[in-house]
Chains A and B, each alone.
Chain A
Amino acid sequence: MGGMFNWIGQIASIVLFNLKTVPQRLGFSASAIFGIAGVVAVMVGVLSIAEGILQTMENSAVPGSVIVLRSGADSEMMSGLMGDDTRLIAQGPGIARNDQGALASPELFVIINLPKRNTGTDANVPLRGVTRTAFEVRDGFEMVEGRLFEWGLNEVIVGVGAQREFEGLDIGSSIEVAKEQWPVVGVFRAGGSLAETEIWVDASVLQPAYRRGNSYQSVYAKLESPGAFQEFKDALTSDPRLNVKAMRQSDYYAEQSTVLYNLITGLGSLIAVIMGLGAMFGALNTMYTAVASRGREMATLRALGFRPGPVVIAVLIESLLLALVGGLIGAALAWWAFDGFRAATLNFSSFSQIAFAFDVSPALLIRGVSFALLIGLIGGLFPAVRAARQPVSEALREL
């Protein structure tokens, strides 16, 4: 036990001694810290974009709910269902009901060109035709400004995300569809879901405007229980009158974001690794210089009876401390600059815009700081070993 305490005591005294000399090497220490901070900030910043998109998708999936599309269609845009199909789907087993009937909402999904605020060029903004059940099958829908459109009239309501990102969606302005002006009468929130990027209108108004007859593109439905899914799906796919596919909403939205999520995380990780290498070289330089500039002190300690083990660990601890400070600064910077930052991008899978907020989650911050510590560990290891290996006599002779 005594040996153990002695060991820790040795480490502590070397670390303290080293830290006291940091101000003498302020330039090097600061450049290592800021180098690592830069890496962490960029990494966390880029990955928070992917997190934000994922979060929006997760908010969109109502637990225990399904979406039905034409078989073969990957997204609502490509799908098409006749009015009769949607009635058959609503009669499927396991669909929840209230006093108005089945909680199955047939919907129309098209896009409309509106200029994006920050670029001024046209963007594909989703325009959704809904029926009264649309509000029953979603969670968290609320009007935040104005009022709901009148059924049967060509009025629209817009999601908060859509209003923020695109021009001409304030209450009192109007959008041009099929040579008509459709006034914006309200703004809604929908629990941070994709719907907040959309414009909503009565489906029976949208159908003739886009020459869709009595057709829809999707049915959103609530199930009595999540366990009812298999029975519902089997009933639909085995019905000879229907040519559709049913998916859990959680699966559907996960699939919708896969391409985008993988692209951003792939790029983000690649950039982080390359930048991390750069920062590691910086950290190595710092620690080598630190060790070299104190070669005599280290050798003196060794001559006094300090063992190589504590010398190695002490140098590592110093490097890790620098990395920790850098990592924390970077994480804080990313959190301050990016968390909640709002943007919109094109989701290739749905060919329409998705508004989201950058999401700097605690897990992401931990990942960033861990990455910083990894850089610090590698950056300290080689110099530490060199410090311990240097023959005492040689080091003492050095000027």
Chain B
Amino acid sequence: MRYLYLVWSNLKRKKLRTLLTLLSITVAFMLFGYLAAIKQGFSQGIDVAGLDRLIVRDKISIIQLLPEAYESRIEQVEGVVDAVHQTWFGGVYQKPSNFFAQLPVEPEGYLAMYPEILLSEAEFEAWKGTRSGAIAGRGLADRFDWKVGDRIPINATIWPREGGERTWEFDLVGIYDGAEKGTDTSSFLFRYDFFEESRQFGKGLVGWYTVRVADPDRAAEIAALIDAEFANSPNETKTEPEGAFLQGFANQVGNIGFIMMAIVAAVFFTILLVAGNTMAYAVRERTSELAVLKAIGFSDRGVFGLILAEALVIAGLGGVTGLLLAWLLVAMGDPTGGSIPVFYIPTRDLLLGLALIAVMALATGTLPALQAQRLRIADALRR
């Protein structure tokens, strides 16, 4: 307790300086938290990818469509439990910048494949009973303030309706939640039978398949079996685990992780300089006081602890405040206004942040603390 009081009075000694140092550390950790969320957003839910799910797409590129008839052939491959298809609709709601994914799917199969999509029984029944019915993720519905019962017009860019009409109208019959924090709730799902019946061309063709395998350990082997099934057909396939597929897509954007790391490193280096220097100055300024403490019986180790504790308090207060602020800022939404499907600070990055707080305290406090420890009373008092 006695030490704590001493630490506290030392910090109060130059209130403004303490506050400014604290604030610069706060800013550093706020940025750290925010960048962690951005990195998470760009990785598009790789963390929650199903280990037992594979993605089957056309070998040439994902824009090439696959026959719907592949579904039953995939399901016959040994080790496959189930397969469902999805297609990129790519429509525009009101204006192009309101970007979100719209996918025609078969309701029952799709929800069985993605148990992390939580839809109430009543809404599921309503979807099955409404041909033009659609469901939206919670994030998406909140973004545009949609309610169940709304009629949502979407303009096709790829898929005109029969007769060339471009506007598709859907009835919102349900809003789904995500089972996990990282579950994407920014998608708009509507019925494939409605899509198939109404589209002008491309009938019988779908975008890609999601496949569930019985044994995740055999995923690579089963992927090879699926690709072999369609080898030398007009549509050869490329099958890979869901996580690898998502990682590949994130890699297309560029090495986001590396860029974020570089920025965070620059920030920390900067703050380390500022805070470390201030700490060193604060100790130098108090040389005679520290000598007095030693003269009245404080041990070398005690003085060392005293200074280090000061650094810990500053880094701890500033760092935790910064992480909290980042958390608040992230909760307010992503900078694009909703285009990033998942946006939160993962627990592992919060823990990393706490570890970095300790590192920063040690890095800024150790040197001045050592100086204080080595201080010889006679020399110091003579100054």
* A interface residue numbers (CB < 8 A to B): 27-28, 30-32, 34-35, 38-39, 41-42, 46, 72-75, 77-78, 110-113, 116, 118-119, 121-124, 177-179, 210-211, 243, 255, 258-259, 262-263, 266-267, 270-271, 274-275, 277-279, 281-282, 284-285, 288-289, 343-346, 348, 351, 353
B92 partner, pick from A74, A274, A279, A284, beta carbons under 8 A: A74
Judge whether B164 is part of the interface by a CB distance below 8 angstroms. Answer: yes
Besides the contacts A72-B156, A275-B27, what 20 more A-B pairs have beta carbons closer than 8 Å? A27-B277, A38-B266, A72-B166, A74-B92, A78-B158, A116-B252, A119-B255, A121-B251, A178-B60, A211-B234, A259-B97, A259-B99, A274-B30, A278-B274, A282-B24, A282-B271, A285-B274, A344-B254, A346-B252, A353-B252
* B interface residue numbers (CB < 8 A to A): 16-17, 20-21, 23-24, 27-28, 30-31, 34-35, 38, 59-64, 90, 92, 96-97, 99, 155-158, 160, 164, 166, 232, 234, 236, 238, 244, 247-248, 251-255, 263, 266-267, 269-271, 273-274, 276-278, 280-281, 335-336, 339
A179 partner, pick from B38, B61, B232, B238, beta carbons under 8 A: B232
Report A-chain residues with C-beta under 8 Å of the C-beta of B277: 27-28, 30-31
**Distance in Å: Cβ of B205 to nearest Cβ of chain A:** 11
Interface centre among B24, B263, B270 (most CB of A within 10 A): B270
Kindly state the separation between the CA atoms of A58 and B118 in the bound complex, as whole angstroms: 45
Minimum CB distance partner of A382 in chain B: B16
Minimum CB distance partner of B166 in chain A: A72
A124 partner, pick from B61, B234, B267, beta carbons under 8 A: B61
Kindly state the separation between the CA atoms of A154 and B273 in the bound complex, as whole angstroms: 59
Report A-chain residues with C-beta under 8 Å of the C-beta of B60: 112-113, 177-178, 210
Does the CB pair A72–B63 fall under 8 Å?
no
**Distance in Å: Cβ of B295 to nearest Cβ of chain A:** 20
Minimum CB distance partner of A34 in chain B: B273
25 pairs, A vs B, C-beta closer than 8 Å: A27-B277, A27-B280, A31-B274, A38-B266, A39-B270, A46-B263, A72-B160, A72-B166, A74-B157, A78-B90, A110-B64, A111-B62, A118-B255, A119-B255, A121-B247, A124-B61, A179-B232, A210-B60, A211-B234, A274-B30, A278-B270, A281-B27, A343-B254, A345-B253, A353-B252
Report A-chain residues with C-beta under 8 Å of the C-beta of B238: 113, 122
For the residues of B in contact with A, the DSSP-based class is helix
Does the CB pair A267–B270 fall under 8 Å?
no
Report A-chain residues with C-beta under 8 Å of the C-beta of B252: 116, 121-124, 345-346, 353
Does the CB pair A351–B63 fall under 8 Å?
yes
A243 partner, pick from B30, B61, B164, beta carbons under 8 A: B164
Report A-chain residues with C-beta under 8 Å of the C-beta of B21: 281, 285
Report B-chain residues with C-beta under 8 Å of the C-beta of A262: 336
B274 partner, pick from A35, A42, A74, A353, beta carbons under 8 A: A35
Kindly state the separation between the CA atoms of A140 and B17 in the bound complex, as whole angstroms: 59
Minimum CB distance partner of B28 in chain A: A278
**Distance in Å: Cβ of B29 to nearest Cβ of chain A:** 10
Kindly state the separation between the CA atoms of A346 and B21 in the bound complex, as whole angstroms: 40
**Distance in Å: Cβ of A260 to nearest Cβ of chain B:** 10
Given known A210-B64, A282-B24, contact A288–B16 (CB-CB < 8 A): yes
Report B-chain residues with C-beta under 8 Å of the C-beta of A122: 238, 248, 252
Kindly state the separation between the CA atoms of A266 and B41 in the bound complex, as whole angstroms: 15
A278 partner, pick from B34, B59, B158, B271, beta carbons under 8 A: B271
Kindly state the separation between the CA atoms of A275 and B244 in the bound complex, as whole angstroms: 34
Enumerate the 5 nearest inter-chain pairs by beta-carbon distance, A residue then B residue, closest first.
A278-B27, A282-B274, A38-B270, A121-B248, A281-B24
Does the CB pair A111–B97 fall under 8 Å?
no
**Distance in Å: Cβ of A297 to nearest Cβ of chain B:** 17
Report B-chain residues with C-beta under 8 Å of the C-beta of A123: 251-252
Given known A271-B31, A278-B271, contact A285–B63 (CB-CB < 8 A): no
Report B-chain residues with C-beta under 8 Å of the C-beta of A277: 23, 27
**Distance in Å: Cβ of B105 to nearest Cβ of chain A:** 20
Report B-chain residues with C-beta under 8 Å of the C-beta of A77: 63
Kindly state the separation between the CA atoms of A262 and B63 in the bound complex, as whole angstroms: 26
Kindly state the separation between the CA atoms of A284 and B278 in the bound complex, as whole angstroms: 12
Interface centre among A27, A123, A285, A345 (most CB of B within 10 A): A285
Interface centre among A75, A116, A275 (most CB of B within 10 A): A275
Kindly state the separation between the CA atoms of A46 and B339 in the bound complex, as whole angstroms: 20
Kindly state the separation between the CA atoms of A262 and B336 in the bound complex, as whole angstroms: 8
**Distance in Å: Cβ of B242 to nearest Cβ of chain A:** 14
B281 partner, pick from A28, A118, A178, A348, beta carbons under 8 A: A28
Does the CB pair B273–A35 fall under 8 Å?
yes
Interface centre among A72, A110, A284 (most CB of B within 10 A): A72
